[in-house]
Amino acid sequence: MSDQTLPAGRQKRARGLPRINPVYFILAALIVAIILNNPNFVEPTGYMNFLKRAAPLAILAAGQVYVIVSGGFDLSVGSLITLVVVGSSMLSNNDPNSTWWVISVMLCIGLAVGLVNGMVVCFLKVPSLIATLGMMITLNGFAFMWSGGAPRGYLPDSFRFFGRVNLRDIPLVQMLPVAVIVMVVVGFALYWLMHRTNLGRMIHAIGDNPRAAQLAGVPVNRVRITAFVVSSLSAVITGILLGGFAGVSTDVGTGYELQAITAAVLGGAQLLGGRGSVPAAMAGALTLTAIFTLLNFLGLPQPVRQVVQGLILVAAVALAMARRKRTGQ
């Protein structure tokens, strides 16, 4: 269906409100609900803590969007996070001077994981769901082998700086968590790479129609591998923030792969590829975190929370789909 066949009035409507991604409305509604429940949320400590908590997932979702838009999934990110936290604690062993080389080692591990994921998908033709599932199990095994089941080291404060420290006495906002700065910087870089460069266009092209993209001269394999690398690197950064926020534990990354995919879908990414936006995926991550926070504030019993959480998620994605059908976006 092309735009020309639409009656003028309908076309006009389509250009109005529905052009704005519904995830932003959902997020706004949830934040209003949180404020009604807890007026302290409008204070900097309230919303800054919220942003700090959402930062790891937002970065992870922004990376996951690269793989989803290119037509795949990356299930290995959760166990990569665990490996980063456990591995960093084992390597650094509370030595403050180790932070930089440990972070470099972790980024190299991330790079290697992304390359392997991408190459298995491209050259061995293993569907990404299976390739990254295999990677997830392997990395979990590595984390357990490395730590013997219980973490054996501490993270030094210099490593935890990124995830834990709040800068104080900042004009306007009083406090500013370092994690929020990291989120903004990484988020902007990923936004720029996806929506302002040729790489981003090629990722969209191969997700939409890999055959057509190939015939048009897109180096499909190279682009796809790059998408997996971006996702793995974002997982490493997420791991560094999470380890910083809450310290060492052996199951820190559990469930994050699904949360990241959910966040991307909440932001309107299409699961079979070709569509998705970095800022909307990050808004999706904030929305998920807002749901968790709101349910904390409401103090509902655990089972009720899970029901509400599930229903909000399905409703939010249904809304995103309805909007796509109406606007063709």
Q: Name which of 266, 263, 268, 197 is nearest 227 in CA terms.
A: 197
At its nearest, how many Å lie between another protein and the CB of residue 60?
Answer: 13
Q: Compute the distance between CA of residue 210 and CA of residue 213 in angstroms, rounded to an integer.
A: 5
- Nearest approach in angstroms of CB 297 to another protein is 6
Question: Token pair of 85, please?
Answer: 């936290």
Gap between the Cα atoms of 42 and 303, Å rounded? 29
| CA-to-CA separations, 306 to 155, 256, 292, 302, in angstroms, rounded | 33, 16, 10, 6
Nearest one of 232, 2, 211 to 116, comparing CA atoms? 232
DSSP assigned state of 59:
H
* 221 vs 254 by CB, closer to another protein: 254
Q: Which is nearer to another protein, 30 or 116 (CB)?
A: 30
Identify which of residues 70 and 82 has a Cβ nearer to another protein in the complex.
82
- Residue partners of 241: CB distance under 8 A and separation at least 6: 55, 56, 59, 162, 163, 179, 182
The nearer residue to another protein, 86 or 266, going by C-beta atoms, is 86
Q: Which is nearer to another protein, 18 or 153 (CB)?
A: 153
C-alpha to C-alpha distance for 162 and 95, rounded to whole angstroms: 16
For the bound state, the minimum distance from the C-beta of residue 246 to another protein, rounded and expressed in Å, comes to 4
Report in angstroms how near the CB of residue 145 gets to another protein at its nearest: 13
Nearest distance in Å: CB 160, another protein = 10
Of 7 and 149, the one with the shorter C-beta distance to another protein is 149
Cβ 256 to another protein shortest distance, Å: 10
Q: 229 or 240, CB closer to another protein?
A: 240
Distance, CA of 207 to CA of 16 (rounded, Å): 28
CA distance 180 to 199: 26
Minimum distance from CB of 105 to another protein (Å)?
Answer: 20
Catalog residues that contact another protein under the rule CB under 8 A: 38, 40-41, 45-46, 49, 53, 148-154, 164, 166, 242, 245-252, 254, 292-293, 296-297, 299, 302
In 247-277, alpha helices (H): 256-266
